[in-house]
Amino acid sequence: MAQKRVLYISYDGLTDPLGQSQIIPYLSGLSVKGYRITILSNEKKENYHENRAVVEKKLLDANITWKFTFYSNKPPVVSTAFGVRRMRKLASFLAKKEAFDIIHCRSILSTMVGDSVRKRFGGKLIFDIRGFWADERVEGGLWNLDNKLYKAIYSYFKKKERTYFKTADAVITLTENAKKYVLANFETKKNFQVVPCAVDLNHFSTKSLDQAMITDLKSKWGVTDAVFVLSYIGSLGTRYRLKEMLQFFKQLQLIQPNAKFLFITKSDTSQIKDLCQELQIDFKNIIIDSCNYQEIPNYIAVSHASIFFIVTSFSGKAVSPTKQGEIMSLGLPIICNADLGDSDTILKSTKTGIVPNDYSIEALRQGAKDLLAFSVTPQEIENAAADYFSLEKAVEKYHSVYQNL
């Protein structure tokens, strides 16, 4: 059978952390299965210049072709339309040179590019939704529906979303929760798959940790064996309940006075200090640092447990935090909130984490007690991570979608 030629379109960049942790590993696995893959991405210039060499090496090793445009967010709204237009132009140029069998589109903006290519040049279209994009912007405060312009833009994208659910040759969601909603509310074709954000279990593995680096980090941060470390990894923004996470830490400290809270983030962290003052948390027990993708497992491994509280909303049905699989694969229990994609369901069914009933002081205090009494072994947590977040299983699911087109 001839190689299937795949055009993979991503409005996110391969030189972004997400591109390196999610997109490249999936497509490298599919390349091994014999697909001839071309990636079209949208790169942020600062990330491109910093990470280009690493990305190019990975793609060369995987025999993947990479083409890209440069991302811009100025002026707002209009820049997105221009970005889609630039990518359409380059995608059409690529499709003229090579007839693609499959056009795999990551998110709705990429699907706007891919759908135009399919209409002009043919090929099977995959709508890999990643989330309810327009709703995320409304719920994140980026689009105010009281503004007529944003209301019109929101309606436009929701109509596009409905169209792509109906006309795409395959649909992929990150969660079972999102799949149930889509099937109940939209007309779709039968080729439908759920692929959560997977993890490279070789990279995020207790067997691959750099113990010398971990020792150095503990010394740098003043962490001894007597210190209990709670960690948070990733960006901080309006979607994340930072105050509630700090309130959980405060309850933990009341039981375990020598606890410290480690933030591994490249976001603006000024709000952490402000909230610590408000909540009367001693800032000397807060550690803030950042690292590159390759170092993340060693930073996480300094901690005993990790937490993420994310604002629940309609769009939360589709959320699959990458950090969940990364943390679990290192054998650490997770504290997270309910009604977040499939995250809480996975933790409850596998008994690998704590899901407080709500954000009341009483519920957070009970969560802290449950965490300190946690008895599930690291190996059991690692096994659960392999069951739900294995990169190999994710690649097999994508392969199944491709084969059924």
Residues 186 and 247 in one domain: no
Residues 13 and 116 in one domain: yes
Sequence-ordered list of residues with C-beta below 8 angstroms from that of 89, at least 6 positions apart, any chain = none
Residue 313: left (phi > 0), alpha (psi -120 to 50), or beta? beta
Please tell me the least confidently modeled range out of 72-76, 239-243, 381-385. 72-76
Arithmetic mean of pLDDT, 168-196: 95
Residues 349 and 238 in one domain: yes
- Asked whether 73 and 88 are in contact (CB, 8 A), the reply is no
In whole angstroms, give the CA distance from residue 161 to residue 154. 11
Q: Give ∠ CA 253-257-260 in degrees, rounded to 5.
A: 65
* pLDDT tens for each residue of 187-214: 998 899 999 999 989 999 999 999 999 9
Q: Is the model's pLDDT at 2 over the cut of 80?
A: no
Residues 136 and 171 in one domain: yes
b or e along 184-220 (b: 16 or more beta carbons within 10 Å of the residue's beta carbon)?
eeeebeebbbbbbbbbbbebbbeeeeeeebbeebeee
Q: What is the mean pLDDT of the chain?
A: 95
Residues 99 and 247 in one domain: no
CATH code at position 23: 3.40.50.2000
Q: What is the pLDDT of residue 76?
A: 77
For helices 361-372 and 242-255, angle between their N-to-C axes, nearest 10 degrees = 60
Q: What is the pLDDT of residue 62?
A: 97
Q: Which amino acid is at 172?
A: I
Here the tokens at position 76 are 């707002």
Arithmetic mean of pLDDT, 159-182: 97
Here the tokens at position 379 are 């190996």
Sequence-ordered list of residues with C-beta below 8 angstroms from that of 322, at least 6 positions apart, any chain = 18, 21, 22, 197, 199, 234
Residues 384 and 399 in one domain: no
CA distance to 246, 286, 381, 402, per residue, from 205 (Å):
28, 26, 12, 29
- Asked whether 59 and 106 are in contact (CB, 8 A), the reply is no
In whole angstroms, give the CA distance from residue 53 to residue 69. 17
- Work out the pLDDT band at 293, boundaries 50, 70, 90: confident
Arithmetic mean of pLDDT, 338-350: 94
Q: What is the pLDDT of residue 190?
A: 87
- Return the percentage of the chain with pLDDT > 90, whole number: 90
Here the tokens at position 229 are 């470390």
Residues 161 and 224 in one domain: no
Three-class DSSP category at 199: strand
Selection from 76, 77, 59 nearest residue 68 by Cα: 59
Residues 284 and 191 in one domain: no
Q: Residue 318 has what DSSP assignment?
A: G
In whole angstroms, give the CA distance from residue 19 to residue 13. 6
Q: Can you say whether the dihedral through the CA atoms of 80, 82, 88, 94 is positive or negative?
A: negative
Q: How many domains does the chain have?
A: 2
Residues 279 and 210 in one domain: yes
Please tell me the least confidently modeled range out of 147-151, 266-270, 391-395. 266-270
- Work out the pLDDT band at 239, boundaries 50, 70, 90: confident
- Return the percentage of the chain with pLDDT > 70, whole number: 100
Q: What is the pLDDT of residue 237?
A: 81
Sheet hosting strand 36-43, strand order edge to edge: 65-70, 36-43, 5-10, 102-106, 124-128, 170-173, 192-194
In whole angstroms, give the CA distance from residue 221 to residue 171. 45
Residue 261 pairs in a beta bridge with: 230, 286
In whole angstroms, give the CA distance from residue 264 to residue 156. 37
Residues 232 and 305 in one domain: yes
- Work out the pLDDT band at 1, boundaries 50, 70, 90: low
Structural domain that includes position 129: 5-197+391-403
End-to-end CA distance of the chain: 14
Q: Is the model's pLDDT at 333 over the cut of 70?
A: yes
In whole angstroms, give the CA distance from residue 108 to residue 11. 9
Arithmetic mean of pLDDT, 90-115: 97
Residues 136 and 283 in one domain: no
Residues 12 and 146 in one domain: yes
* pLDDT tens for each residue of 358-386: 999 999 999 999 999 999 999 999 999 99
Q: How many residues does the chain have?
A: 405
In whole angstroms, give the CA distance from residue 199 to residue 211. 21
Q: What is the pLDDT of residue 255?
A: 97
